[in-house]
């Protein structure tokens, strides 16, 4: 089994990213969408938590939501992969289950 | 493929401040009729949904907390509460409602429905699900 | 693959509707089937007929209606959530003796069982919410 988690809240506002990372098994994927994309940036309070998790889970971020918010890809944590909506769909089919942290 | 799927309901929000907790409980109750393998998990502020002693009279909205006690009658008895979420809020299982179910295979013995599990244990349980509903 | 989608938030207030629409457009373009979209909580407001957003803004309700027609997607509004929020179709109008209805073409109102059924029938259920 493999699982895709989606997170749509800024980690500086809400704790859903933290909850999600606590409950993501090794090999899981995490996709940051909507306000969740702020969790992908480096140099923030949340960065260390995300970097620590990246040893076990793959972190993706939805590019259109980054662009909408004026967050340049150069600000992203190394290793975070940017996907578009097609990539979002592929992540849901590549994994067996989708769990939304709303 | 078996037509029984593993359904997990993620409850991650506190009650009353928003309607999510109540409307998701309504889904659980309706879903019980479909004979699927149902689990509920309570994480984050979602653990507040199970607090004892809820009284909404003065607010004037529906107190839906007694409904959780009925879940056992619907054969919903896998209610996982994340230990770390309780700890972070200064709560223990004694602060939560006592939810039970009757085990048909053991002469209707009354058993606890709530299982307090660690994040690591809950992560494994979540990983085994077929359908995850979040509200 | 066969997808079921759940939308928990109202249009405009929250991005969830638009994220779901963009996801569905990509999914069908890739040849996947979107079997059903189930609207719950304030998500039921995605199915109102009287929205008149400014010309330079997306018309979310109309976009759903067009998507449903083009790709044969079943748009289901939860009846319990709809009743709380004042959304009605012909049936609800008659049953509750209302003086009108306000549901958008392409949507229908039905029970929560439709969400569970989507979970059982579909290969993937994807939730968009707050």
Rounded average pLDDT over B113-125? 98
DSSP bridge pairs for A32 = A7, A61
Interface of C with B in 50-79 (CB under 8 A): none
pLDDT at C56 over 90: yes
Residue B17 tokens read as 């401040």
With beta carbons under 8 A apart, name residues in chain C contacting B6: none
Burial group, residue B87, by CB count within 10 angstroms (0-12, 13-18, 19+): exposed
Residue with token string 């140099």: A43
pLDDT at A99 over 90: yes
Say what the pLDDT of residue A40 is: 98
**Binning pLDDT at 50, 70 and 90, where does residue B3 land?**
confident
With beta carbons under 8 A apart, name residues in chain A contacting B128: 1
* Residue closest to B98 by CA, chosen among B117, B74, B122, B71: B71
Does residue C10 contact residue C42 with C-beta atoms inside 8 Å? yes
Identify the DSSP state of C103: B
Query: How confident is the prediction for chain C on average, in pLDDT?
Result: 97
**Chain C contact present for B61, CB below 8 A:** no
- Homologous superfamily of B6-134 in CATH? DsrEFH-like (3.40.1260.10)
> Would you identify the CATH topology of the domain C2-128?
Hypothetical Protein Ychn; Chain: A, (3.40.1260)
Strand residue runs (E) in chain B:
6-11, 37-42, 79-82, 100-103, 109-112, 114-117, 131-134
Rounded average pLDDT over C52-69? 97
Q: B132 and A24: CB-CB below 8 Å?
A: no
Count of C-beta atoms within a 10 Å radius of residue B105: 6
pLDDT over 90, % of chain C = 100
pLDDT single digits (tens) A48-90: 999 999 999 999 999 999 999 999 999 999 999 999 999 999 9
Q: C26 and A86: CB-CB below 8 Å?
A: yes
d(CA C61, CA C75): 11
Residue A81 tokens read as 């992969």
Domain positions in chain B: 6-134
Strand residue runs (E) in B15-130:
37-42, 79-82, 100-103, 109-112, 114-117
Rounded average pLDDT over C51-76? 97
pLDDT at B1 over 70: no
**Chain A contact present for B56, CB below 8 A:** no
Residue B107 tokens read as 């002469």
Burial group, residue A80, by CB count within 10 angstroms (0-12, 13-18, 19+): buried
Nearest-neighbour CA in chain A from B29: distance (Å): 20
Domain that includes residue A28, residue range: 3-101
**Chain B contact present for A19, CB below 8 A:** yes
* B13 dihedral zone (left: phi>0; alpha: psi -120 to 50; beta): beta
Interface of A with B in 42-101 (CB under 8 A): 96-101
A90: CATH: 3.40.1260.10
**C-alpha of B23 from chain center:** 13
pLDDT single digits (tens) B21-74: 999 999 999 999 999 999 999 999 999 999 999 999 999 999 999 999 999 999
Spell out the long-range contacts of A64-72 with Cβ–Cβ below 8 A and sequence spacing 24 or more: A64/C22, A65/A32, A65/A33, A65/A34, A65/A36, A65/A37, A65/C15, A65/C19, A66/A37, A66/A40, A69/A37, A69/A38, A71/A37, A71/A38, A71/A40, A71/A41
Does residue C103 contact residue C89 with C-beta atoms inside 8 Å? yes
Domain count, chain A: 1
Question: How many CA atoms lie less than 13 Å away from C55 in the CB half-sphere?
Answer: 0
pLDDT single digits (tens) C12-39: 999 999 999 999 999 999 999 999 999 9
**From C37, C77, C78, C122, the catalytic residue:** C78
Q: Give the largest CA-CA distance in chain A.
A: 36
**C-alpha of C46 from chain center:** 6
- Which of A1, A16, A23 is nearest residue B122 as measured by Cβ atoms? A23
pLDDT single digits (tens) C70-123: 999 999 999 999 999 999 999 999 999 999 999 999 999 999 999 999 999 999
**Binning pLDDT at 50, 70 and 90, where does residue B2 land?**
low
Say what the pLDDT of residue B135 is: 87
d(CA A92, CA A87): 9
d(CA C40, CA C123): 20
pLDDT single digits (tens) A39-48: 999 999 999 9
Identify the DSSP state of B100: E
pLDDT single digits (tens) A12-34: 999 999 999 999 999 999 999 99
C122 catalytic per annotation: no
């Amino acid at each position: 089994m493999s699982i895709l988690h989606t997170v749509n809240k800024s980690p500086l506002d809400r704790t859903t990213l933290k909850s999600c990372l606590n409950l993501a098994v090794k090999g899981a994927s995490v996709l940051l969408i909507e306000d969740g994309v702020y969790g992908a940036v480096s140099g923030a309070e949340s960065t260390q938590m995300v970097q620590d998790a990246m040893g076990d889970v793959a972190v993706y971020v939805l590019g259109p939501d980054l662009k909408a918010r004026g967050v340049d890809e150069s600000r992203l944590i190394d290793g975070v992969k940017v996907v578009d909506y097609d990539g979002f769909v592929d992540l849901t089919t590549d994994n067996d289950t989708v769990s939304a942290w709303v | 493929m078996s037509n029984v799927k593993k359904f997990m309901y993620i409850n991650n929000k506190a009650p009353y401040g928003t309607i999510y907790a109540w409307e998701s409980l309504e889904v659980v109750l309706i879903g019980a009729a479909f004979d699927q393998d149902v689990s509920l998990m309570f994480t984050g502020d979602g653990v507040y949904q199970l607090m004892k002693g809820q009284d909404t009279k003065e607010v004037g909205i529906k107190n839906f907390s007694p409904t959780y006690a009925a879940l056992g009658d619907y054969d919903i008895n896998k209610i996982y509460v994340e230990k770390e979420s309780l700890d972070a809020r200064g709560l223990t299982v004694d602060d939560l409602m006592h939810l039970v179910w009757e085990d048909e295979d053991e002469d209707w013995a009354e058993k606890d429905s709530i299982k307090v599990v660690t994040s690591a244990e809950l992560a494994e349980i979540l990983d085994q699900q077929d359908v995850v509903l979040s509200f | 693959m066969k997808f079921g989608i759940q939308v928990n938030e109202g249009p405009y207030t929250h991005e969830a509707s638009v994220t779901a629409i963009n996801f569905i457009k990509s999914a069908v373009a890739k040849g996947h089937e979107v079997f059903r979209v189930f609207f719950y909580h304030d998500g039921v407001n995605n199915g109102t007929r009287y929205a008149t957003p400014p010309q330079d803004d997306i018309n979310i309700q109309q976009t759903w209606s067009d998507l449903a027609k083009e790709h044969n997607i079943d748009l289901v509004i939860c009846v319990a959530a709809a009743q709380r929020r004042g959304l009605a179709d012909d049936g609800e109008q008659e049953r509750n003796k209302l003086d009108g209805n306000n549901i958008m073409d392409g949507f229908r109102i039905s029970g929560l069982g439709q969400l569970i059924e989507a979970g059982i029938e579909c290969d993937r259920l994807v939730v968009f919410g707050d």
